[in-house]
Amino acid sequence: MDIDRKILKAEKIVEIRFNEVDSMGIVWHGSYPLYFEDAREEFGKIYHLEYLYMFDKGFYSPLVEMHFNYKSPIKYTDKIRVVITYRNTEAAKIVFDYEIFDVVTGELRATGYTTQVFLDKNFELMWTKPDFYCEWEKLNGIR
């Protein structure tokens, strides 16, 4: 049962940059990976799962999948809040779900997810979770 498992979440306020907006006056769809990454960085800081930490442990964790659902356009003057949620999975993967909200109206602007795998120092794909990661999951109450 998942009942006692913690839900790991983080969030990041993002200011839209002028160059992220297209000639229609709305944020270009290809700018959203920036916002997801900002949230992922924030998650990494809070829960100590930074790129550099994983690298020190001997692993890379590249993205193998990224998905966006655009609900309503973001404008230059908007301030957005990106909520990132850790998705529990048995697989040797790191999956995050994202929601982008308008800070002022609370409106949901976009959702999406990313999937990362583990590679060892020889760039070989890990079929099971690395030890350091199992410990990280335990430490954070999700295993």
Q: Which is nearer to its own copies, 60 or 101 (CB)?
A: 60
Query: With binding defined as CB under 8 A, does residue 33 bind its own copies?
Result: yes
What is the C-alpha to C-alpha distance for residues 5 and 8, in angstroms, rounded to an integer? 9
Site for its own copies (CB under 8 A): which residue of 5, 6, 67, 138?
67
DSSP letter at 30 equals G
Q: Is 21 helix (H, G, I), strand (E, B) or coil?
A: strand
Q: Give SS3 for 37.
A: helix
Binding mask 4-23 for its own copies (x = CB under 8 A): -------------xxx-xxx
Using the minimum distance from each CB to its own copies, give the nearer residue, 65 or 135: 65
Can you tell me which residue has the tokens 């335990």? 138
> Shortest Cβ distance from residue 95 to its own copies (Å)?
14
